[in-house]
Amino acid sequence: MTATSRKNRAGFETTSRLLAQVVNEGLATARVKTSGNMHQEYLILTSHQESFENPERWVKAGLLPDTHYELRDGQVISLVRPGNLKPLISIGTFSMETEVLEPEVIFEHMRPWLLNVADESLLQEIGRELKNSSDNQEKWLEISECMERALNFDSSSIEWERAMVFGHPSHPYHRLCYAQVPLKPHSPNDLPGMLTPSIAFVSVLRIDMHLSGLFEETLAPLLRTLDIPNPSDDRLVVPCLVQQLPAIKTYFPSAVVVKTTKECADAQTSMRTLTIRPELGFPYHIKLSLACNITSALRTITPWSTMGGPVFSELLERFLPPDMWVFREIGSITGNQPDFNQAKHFSCILRDDLERKAQANDETLVLAAVLAQHPPETNTSYAEILYNLDDLQKKKNWFRKYTACLFKLTIPPLLDYGIALEAHGQNLVVRICRQTGDIKGFAVRDFGGIRLHVPTLQEYGVGLDAIPSGSAVLTNSLHNAWSKVHHSMLQNHIGFLLSALGLEQQGGWTIVREELANVLNPDENKRGLKLYDFFVADTMPFKCFLMMRMEGKYRDYVERELPNIVAMNSPRWKEILKTYQPRLHHA
């Protein structure tokens, strides 16, 4: 791939996500126009206030052949996916039309439409963030050209992590990596170093830190292997990313670097969780704070997460089915400041590395999100490549098996115990038999996004007093827990896998509804019926990433009701579209 083609490809990857999100969030009016001898269909975006026939400014994007969309009064009302678009993108006014792929240029063209939502300075900042995402995507494409091509059932879990070249499937910040003060600014050229980062081991006063679980005991063998001396009784040694040191020195004056190590770890997809090299014999991942905005959030680690990890690990192992393995968080440490915004800058979580357990079972661990992605040189998904899914029936059969296994392991805990896993593709790892390719189960990791319905768990005698007040994990609302699963698993994980397989209009959602019914048994189980009805309701809450950014929200949300894709092509689908009314929810 040439430098020009990489730049164009990267620009389109970010721009397609931007345009889809603008439509889905209701930030513009979207219509479809057909033109040319080839009957090419285009998505036309205009301001809500403008005439479609003669708009002052507009954005035009080509639609792939056979893209399905739903219209009412000439306007698109159904979900638009980035994968529906093709790189025939232009911006225009009364007097001109210009082909463009750069997301920051397109966003600037749309800026007048958004001034009622955010001010000029914030919109300019968002434009810079979109450019950062695109520039980093370009570098990721370059990096991928040096990666192992033929991934298979014998590939290591870190190789599968690295195959996540395109990042989040729908967020315009899919490849954002934006360092925040006091860290030094990053450029795309820093990405290779972030993938094999240097680790600093820092001595800090014990009274400045808060420990949870078995942190010191678990870390000690690695410190001995790396010849890091034991500190005095009043101090601790804690690992951190070297690039995080400016923040640590700002908020932890007692911190002193004892030793820095290189080439001992590889970064996973999140960029802040490290897989330690096998030769060091340390069977744990190390998750570290990183004061960079990556995708939608600052990737530091709050005390809510560090204190909750060991508690949540024990709870999940107790209530999840045996085939849902848990990346247990064994021990953790964070700052002891009352102000969590300071404490979160020096945090570390030690969690199980399940690679050895998988090898003992003759299994490989594949990041679930990668199955819906594809090598940069092809549009064929990894699921299709691994399983030779070369016709429609093969795809349907495999997708049904995958969906049935996923639902069997994630939905009963939600129904019975009020445990809502954040089951999107980056937090779930697929356990696959190396010999047969059969899916044996899943493994779940990263507990900061799960939801626990407190009243239900209290019925089982579960105490959650160790979790600091204000934790977003704990909820008294079943709707909150159910909504988490709809967004993370159905809209995100299953939705993008189904789309990658070309099953959106080929019976894929029918399979999803059938497998939901199989696990929930709504005809005989009243509680199962309520949850089934929620999953297939007329509308679904769609997370508005751009509006959340413009309103300065991360933990709180902005959601817009869209026709529920899980109900697509059901007997009720046309009636749903007739009665649909868009609504926004703020929290």
Task: Read off the pLDDT of residues 67-108 as tens digits, 9 standing for 90 and up.
Answer: 999 999 999 999 999 999 999 999 999 889 999 999 999 999
Residue 535 and residue 420: Cα distance in Å, rounded? 13
**Per-residue DSSP letter, 434:** T
Residues contacting residue 68 through CB under 8 Å, at least 6 positions apart: 78, 504, 505
Residue 371 and residue 383: Cα distance in Å, rounded? 5
Which pLDDT score is estimated for 273? 98
Distance between first and last Cα of the chain = 44
The Cβ of residue 201 has, within 10 Å, a number of other Cβ atoms equal to 20
Reading the block at residue 430, the tokens are 């697929």
This prediction has a pTM of 0.96
Supply the CATH classification number for the domain 362-536.
1.10.510.40
pLDDT per position as a tens digit, 398-432: 999 999 999 999 999 999 999 999 999 999 999 99
Q: Which residues of the chain have a pLDDT value below 50?
A: none
Q: Return the ∠ at Cα 348 (arms to 344 and 349), rounded to 5°.
A: 120
Residue 270 and residue 191: Cα distance in Å, rounded? 12
Residue 286's nearest CA partner among 317, 308, 304, 264 is 264
Which pLDDT score is estimated for 104? 98
Pairing outcome for strands 71-72 and 209-213 = unpaired
Burial group, residue 232, by CB count within 10 angstroms (0-12, 13-18, 19+): exposed
CA 216 to chain centre: 30
Which pLDDT score is estimated for 50? 82
Q: Return the ∠ at Cα 317 (arms to 315 and 320), rounded to 5°.
A: 95
- Output the DSSP codes for 382-394: HHHHHHT--SHHH
Q: Is cis: bond before 82, omega within 30 of 0?
A: no
Which pLDDT score is estimated for 149? 65
> In the chain, what are the domain boundaries?
1-173, 180-357, 362-536
